[in-house]
């Protein structure tokens, strides 16, 4: 008789989990290592920086008082328990490390479950001796391995940065458990829809809700709904109080979410067909609307939902960051080293202006990433053989490419406008001059536009001339600009290197001066790079 299941597994549905997990770890080895590294370095580096910047108890107490007293900062970073270096680290990076860990596990779980299923890879795998729930188990195991990796490395790194061992362990475990909780949530999301994109949307939506819930709870005063924080897995990291008498039992909450999510996902997975979701696919239009009748209409149709997500993120982030601008001077007044650094990063003017200018620079840098990703869709449409049928119609190459580029530019304008208006409102409403601040910061945001487009134009250039290098090359350009802007001055690089980044030439607003020259130059560079790219596209083979 033939033995169908391999020995060693009690449940035949899980047969092959080990092989699939090894495959997942093999496919993700670079991304996971990078993700774990970033989280560990961010948290341990923050602890080290606090130790260096705030050597005295008085300085730390002042920082804790201002940081903990500013509701906008509490919305962004959460509550402060105590004024030890560990407490400050937990405040500044506890939630954000949790967010990064959650992003990592969400992407891992969906990628190895619903993405593979939608692409039909699971069908291939499923026809081998592999149980129907092995992929789900493998995705969860991979995400769990990453979470455990974060916890273990932080347990080692935080004491090395000078934090007490018990508190370090509590913080490390809290961050890892947060990642686990969202792995459980993502596992359920992956069962609900038939598309990986919407599954990811559900899981990321849950993360967004968790952030806002705890933001409202954390920023509420004593009489406000501070209990809301308890409803958010992100807040559980700080509610563990790692460096202020750890409450170890709080760690049970994310573990329970992970366990319940995992169990629910397995139950749901057992009840549905391969490829199907629990939520029905809504039928769409049987005919195309008027809008969908040109390459531009197509590009807009493909991009608007993504843009909406970016705009939402921009509005919330920059409104909160703008609101935090009031009183930012006192916050940094307690550390002269940090103050010096911050002033240098943002410009010569007052610290508030420097902070706002740094925010606008950040808006430009992130918008450059958006614009680059949007331009690079041209390349993915080409390699995905979606460009071919369009170019086989009366649509010319240049018109096709320009449609996507116009959407990218328009999206960038909208994003920068959102950053300017949101920051202006967030700050202006608190200082009582909303109209003036909105106008000033809108201008400051738009001053970043030429530099942003110059970075994205590299993607157009490469797509036209060296399509094979377009994706890595364009992202290298973005990474270079980010690295130069964030670390260039701190590392005291030569101005030759600093000048490579278009953002070095953008005015620092508010507070700085504007000269038309560099802006026009940047526009000219963006146009020239794009024109060269389009000229290359006319000449080269497609596909």
Partner 1 sequence: MSDVIEVRALRKSFGRTRALDGLDLGVRAGEVHAFLGPNGAGKTTTIRILLGLLRKDGGEARLLGGDPWQHATRLHARLAYVPGDVTLWPGLTGGEIIDLMARLRGPGSAIDPKRRQALMERFALDPTKKARAYSKGNRQKVALIAALASDAELLLLDEPTAGLDPLMEAAFRECVNDERHGGRTVLLSSHILSEAEALSDRVTIIRDGRAVETGTLAEMRHLTRNLVDAELAGPVSLDGVPGVHDLVVQGTHVRCEVDHAALNDVLGRLTAARVLSLTCRPPTLEELFLRHYSSERPVAGAPR
Residues within the interface to partner 1 (CB under 8 A): 118, 194-195, 197, 281, 283-289, 292-295, 297-298, 301-302, 305, 384-386, 388-397, 539-543
Q: Which among 447, 439, 410 has a CA at the least distance from the CA of 523?
A: 447
Q: How far apart are CA 154 and CA 166, in angstroms?
A: 12
Nearer to partner 1, 280 or 517 (CB): 280
Angle between helix 85-110 and 17-53 (nearest 10): 160
Residue 235 is encoded by which pair of tokens? 């807040």
Phi first, then psi: give them for residue 380, nearest 5 degrees. -70, -30
Min CB(138)–partner 1 separation in Å: 23
Residue 474 is encoded by which pair of tokens? 């364009």
Residue 395 is encoded by which pair of tokens? 């649509």
Contact, 452 vs 370, CB < 8 A? no
Q: How far apart are CA 503 and CA 535, in angstroms?
A: 26
Angle between helix 165-192 and 196-219 (nearest 10): 140
Nearer to partner 1, 79 or 397 (CB): 397
SS (H, E, C) 341-382: HHHHHHCCCCHHHHHHHHHHHHHHHHHHHHHHHHHHHHHHHH
Nearer to partner 1, 79 or 377 (CB): 377
Whose tokens are 């364009």? That residue is 474
Min CB(10)–partner 1 separation in Å: 35
Q: Is the peptide bond before 510 cis (omega within 30 degrees of 0)?
A: yes
Min CB(120)–partner 1 separation in Å: 9
Min CB(183)–partner 1 separation in Å: 24
Min CB(295)–partner 1 separation in Å: 7
Nearer to partner 1, 299 or 321 (CB): 299
Min CB(534)–partner 1 separation in Å: 15
Min CB(350)–partner 1 separation in Å: 47
Radius of gyration of the chain (CA): 25
Nearer to partner 1, 261 or 277 (CB): 277
Whose tokens are 């400051």? That residue is 444
Min CB(195)–partner 1 separation in Å: 6
Handedness of CA 269, 272, 276, 277 (dihedral sign): negative
Nearer to partner 1, 66 or 374 (CB): 374
Nearer to partner 1, 281 or 499 (CB): 281
Angle at 109 between CA 108 and CA 112, to 5 degrees: 85
Min CB(465)–partner 1 separation in Å: 15
């Amino acid at each position: 008789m033939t033995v169908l299941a391999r020995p060693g597994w009690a449940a035949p549905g899980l047969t092959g989990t080990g092989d699939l997990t090894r495959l997942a770890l093999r496919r993700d080895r670079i991304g996971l290592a990078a993700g774990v590294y970033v989280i560990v370095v961010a948290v341990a580096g923050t602890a080290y920086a606090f130790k260096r910047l705030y050597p005295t108890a008085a300085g730390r107490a002042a920082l804790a008082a201002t940081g903990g007293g500013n509701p906008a900062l509490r919305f962004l970073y959460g509550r402060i328990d105590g004024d030890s270096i560990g407490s400050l680290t937990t405040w500044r990076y506890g939630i954000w490390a949790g967010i990064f860990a959650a992003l990592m596990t969400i992407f891992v779980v969906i990628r190895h479950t619903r993405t593979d299923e939608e692409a039909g890879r699971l069908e291939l795998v499923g026809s081998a001796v592999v149980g129907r729930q092995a992929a789900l188990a493998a995705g969860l195991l991979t995400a769990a391995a990453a979470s455990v990796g974060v916890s273990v490395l932080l347990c080692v790194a935080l004491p090395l940065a000078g934090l007490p061992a018990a508190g370090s362990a509590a913080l490390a475990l809290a961050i890892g458990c947060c990642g686990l909780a969202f792995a459980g949530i993502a596992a359920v999301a992956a069962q609900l829809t038939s598309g990986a994109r919407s599954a990811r949307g559900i899981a990321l939506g849950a993360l967004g809700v968790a952030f806002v819930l705890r933001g409202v709870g954390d920023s509420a005063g004593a009489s406000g709904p501070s209990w809301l924080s308890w409803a958010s897995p992100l807040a559980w990291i700080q509610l563990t109080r790692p460096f202020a008498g750890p409450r170890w039992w709080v760690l049970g909450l994310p573990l329970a979410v992970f366990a319940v999510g995992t169990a629910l996902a397995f139950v749901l997975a057992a009840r549905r067909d391969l490829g199907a979701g629990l939520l029905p696919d809504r039928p769409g239009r049987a005919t195309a609307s008027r809008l969908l009748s040109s390459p531009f209409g197509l590009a807009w149709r493909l991009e608007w939902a993504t843009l909406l997500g970016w705009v939402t993120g921009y509005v919330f982030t920059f409104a909160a960051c703008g609101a935090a601008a009031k009183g930012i001077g006192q916050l940094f007044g307690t550390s002269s080293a940090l103050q010096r650094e911050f002033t240098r990063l943002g410009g010569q003017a007052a610290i508030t202006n420097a902070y706002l200018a740094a925010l606008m620079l950040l808006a430009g840098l992130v918008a450059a990433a958006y614009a680059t990703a949007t331009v690079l869709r041209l390349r993915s449409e080409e390699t995905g053989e979606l460009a071919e049928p369009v170019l086989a119609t009366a649509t010319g190459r240049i018109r096709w490419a320009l449609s996507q580029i116009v959407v990218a530019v328009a999206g960038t304008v909208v994003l920068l406008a959102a950053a300017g208006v949101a920051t202006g409102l967030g700050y202006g409403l608190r200082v009582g001059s909303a109209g003036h601040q909105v106008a000033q910061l809108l201008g400051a945001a738009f001053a970043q536009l030429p530099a942003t487009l110059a970075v994205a134009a590299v993607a157009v250039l490469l797509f036209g001339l060296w399509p094979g290098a377009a994706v890595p090359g364009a992202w290298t350009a973005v990474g270079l600009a980010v690295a130069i802007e964030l670390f260039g001055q701190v590392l005291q690089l030569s101005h030759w290197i600093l000048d490579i980044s278009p953002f070095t030439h953008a005015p620092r607003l508010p507070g700085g001066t504007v000269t038309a020259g560099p802006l026009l130059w940047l526009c000219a560079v963006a146009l020239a790079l794009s024109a060269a790219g389009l000229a290359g596209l006319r000449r080269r083979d497609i596909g």
